[in-house]
Structure formats: structure tokens, C-alpha cells
Amino acid sequence: AQSVTQLGSHVSVSEGALVLLRCNYSSSVPPYLFWYVQYPNQGLQLLLKYTSAATLVKGINGFEAEFKKSETSFHLTKPSAHMSDAAEYFCAESYDKVIFGPGTSLSVIP
């Protein structure tokens, strides 16, 4: 069965520090992978998506993610955190249906 895990339900970083949010997928066949962001009291917005064209995917707001088949991972990074990055982040896998991970709440400390 499809499943997506996100290590760390809550991550805190200082403003200007590296952001690393972890995601591991379960599918034995490389799926389509997505990162979504949810700001308070809003729906989810697409940050970036992996479609097998390139292993390093660049998204909006300076975020990027690297697909590593050997590790079944799709970790999200940003070199320098900004206060406006504080939000909930969801990794999702799309194979025969879209499955979401449990989410990671990112706090940015000034």
C-alpha cells in the first residue's frame, strides 16, 4: 500500500538558517511526488513537483527538493529560512491515488 512518511512533526529553525524537511515514499515504482504548503486557515498550495525529468526540482519561494531513488526520499530544502516560511508542509505521493504524509510544522525563530 502507498504510504508517505515525514520525519519530524515539528521543525524549528532560526531565520537565515538552512531548512530541511524530510519525506520518504513507499512505492516500488518511482511515483510522482509533490510538496504542498499550508498557511494558517488556508488550503494547501503546490510548492513543487517531481515528474522524473530531473532529480533536483526547484519550486516557488526558493525551495527545492531532491529525488533519491536509492533512499526512496524526496527531502525539501531551502538555504535560508525567512519568517514567512512558517507553515505546515506536506509531502504527497501520486500513483493510483494521491496519498499525503502527516505533515511537518515549520517554525522560524527571529
Partner 1 sequence: NAGVTQTPKFRILKIGQSMTLQCTQDMNHNYMYWYRQDPGMGLKLIYYSVGAGITDKGEVPNGYNVSRSTTEDFPLRLELAAPSQTSVYFCASARGPPPLNSPLHFGNGTRLTVT
Residues of this chain that interact with partner 1 (CB under 8 A) are 4, 9, 31-32, 34, 36, 41-46, 49, 51, 90, 94-103
Measured from the CB atom, the residue of 20 and 98 that comes closer to partner 1 is 98
Nearer to partner 1, 28 or 41 (CB): 41
Distance CA 20, CA 29 (A): 25
Residue 60 DSSP code: G
- Smallest separation (angstroms) from partner 1 to the CB of 89: 11
Q: Least separation, in Å, of the C-beta of 50 and partner 1?
A: 8
Least distance (Å) between residue 47 CB and partner 1: 10
Sign of the alpha-carbon torsion through 42, 43, 44, 45: negative
Please give the C-alpha separations between residue 108 and each of 5, 36, 98, in angstroms, as whole numbers: 22, 18, 29
Residue closer to partner 1 (CB basis): 66 or 100:
100
Query: Three-state DSSP class for 83?
Result: helix
All three cell numbers of 46: 503546490
Q: Quote the DSSP letter at residue 102.
A: -
Give 17 or 107: the residue with its C-beta nearer to partner 1.
107
- The CB-of-108 to partner 1 minimum distance in angstroms stands at 20
